[in-house]
Amino acid sequence: MSFLKKLFGGGDQHSSCCGHDHSPESHPAPAVPAAPVTTSAPEPAPAAPKAPVVHRGLEGVYANESKLSDVQGDEGKLYYLGYNIDELVESHVSFEEIIYLLHKHKLPNRTELEGVEAKLRARRSLPQGIIDFLTAAPKTANPMDVLRTGVSMLGLYDDLGNDTDRSLNEDRSLAIIAKIPLIIGYFHRARQGLSLPPVRLDLSEAAHFLYLITGEEPSEKATETLDIAYIIHAEHGMNASTFSARVTVATLSDIYSAITSAIGTLKGPLHGGANEGVIHMLEEIGSPDRVDAWVEERLAKKEKIMGIGHRVYKVLDPRAPHLRRMAIKLTEELGEPKWIQMSERIAEIMRTRKKLEANVDFYSATVYHSLGIPTDLFTPIFAISRAAGWTAQVLEQLDDNRLYRPLTLYTGPHELKVTPIDQRS
């Protein structure tokens, strides 16, 4: 069982979901109610205390409502504001259109799209203090640590004052989305001792990032590939980093703090960091004939295989087929099919042995690797894209705010007596 239930008879702290009785006798698994009910105020204290239930990792718990994305774990479907991501990808909607969709809750018409593109491009600059930090940061620093610090520093240079109305926060959101690629790109150039290429205002978000890290204008194909990866990663319900962002801003802290929290959370290998783990795994395996033995050895040691499994998707992650398709094409074109051959075999073994499917990170690693992007920039790329979702979620949280404050079930002793310090062991 992947969650823990602890029962304490007669305790006065209890966690209940939607007023259901969650005693283990009646509900042995975390109950996801068919029709969740939102409460904006604590329920009145029950006459007789119910047995508390601990949903470790908040599995199966609805922490809020959202119109932004619908992650259908059993069906393997993902919708942004009602649009299936397959439809968005197949209709060649751009990342900039997705940003507008998430912030404004509608797809832009041509004038609105030009407006959001112009705003993003106009914000392609960094304060000198941040450039100084990026050029002085240790060359060996993890780019996610640099990004986290850089976004935190953006808050120091916000000249919009303390007003937090939605339109100002939308401006801040676009500025954050526009500046994250610059922070990553500038650091990447600086750590190689290279000059920072002057920003260009004629390139899309995806093309501009590739230009920043290489100093050269990318091909249309590379741009289109990264654009689709951006779209696929842009938003994903109450994932761990989005939850961090919402928790932070729900205290009425500021949007920079919220996005800084989110970046710190995304970094972990159980979340966004998994895409880097995938390429390290493929490099370690080395060739398709070594896959079976390598995976069996890891499974025997009860180790996790990166890019496999998902908390919500119980079937194939709907983002994975898009990335798989691109990974197959790119590796074929590069004449390096071994990457996709190894991936396919790993996925097959995990499906058969553990009934687990590939997630978004599994094939994105091969896509980025094939585009020539350094491995430690994979998770920062995830952050570039997810910044669209994080900022939209922050705006939505502030539209109807309520502090997040769950409980922990205390399992320690009470009423201990203080031993004088000299008598303590």
Ligand X SMILES: CC(C)(COP(=O)(O)OP(=O)(O)OC[C@H]1O[C@@H](n2cnc3c(N)ncnc32)[C@H](O)[C@@H]1OP(=O)(O)O)[C@@H](O)C(=O)NCCC(=O)NCCS
Residues near ligand X, by CB under 6 A: 2, 57, 270, 274, 304-311, 354, 356, 359-361
Nearer to ligand X, 106 or 354 (CB): 354
Distance CA 408, CA 154 (A): 34
As beta bridge partners, residue 71 has: 78
Nearer to ligand X, 210 or 387 (CB): 387
Nearest distance in Å: CB 274, ligand X:
3
Q: Rounded to the nearest 10 degrees, how much is the dihedral formed by the CA atoms of 45, 47, 48, 54?
A: -20
- Lookup: tokens for 178: 């526009």
Nearer to ligand X, 173 or 364 (CB): 364
Decide if 22 is catalytic: no
- Lookup: tokens for 154: 């953006």
Of 22, 310, 322, 369, the active-site residue reads: 310
Q: Indicate the residue whose CB is closest to ligand X.
A: 309
- Lookup: tokens for 87: 């439809």
Nearest distance in Å: CB 339, ligand X:
17
Nearest distance in Å: CB 306, ligand X:
5
Nearest distance in Å: CB 57, ligand X:
6
Residue 231: CB partners within 8 Å, gap ≥ 6?
85, 88, 89, 93, 94, 95, 98, 385
Nearer to ligand X, 51 or 342 (CB): 342
Nearer to ligand X, 123 or 233 (CB): 233
As beta bridge partners, residue 78 has: 71
- Among candidates 362, 340, 356, which has minimal Cα distance to 275? 362
Of 227, 254, 317, 361, the active-site residue reads: 361
Nearest distance in Å: CB 33, ligand X:
19
Amino acid at 268: G
Nearer to ligand X, 28 or 57 (CB): 57
Amino acid at 33: P
87 and 195 in contact (C-beta within 8 Å)? Answer: no
- Lookup: tokens for 333: 């074109």
- Among candidates 168, 156, 203, which has minimal Cα distance to 182? 203
- Dihedral class, residue 255 (left if φ above 0, else alpha if ψ from -120 to 50, else beta): alpha
Decide if 310 is catalytic: yes
271 and 265 in contact (C-beta within 8 Å)? Answer: yes
Nearest distance in Å: CB 228, ligand X:
17
Q: Which residues are marked as active site?
A: 310, 361
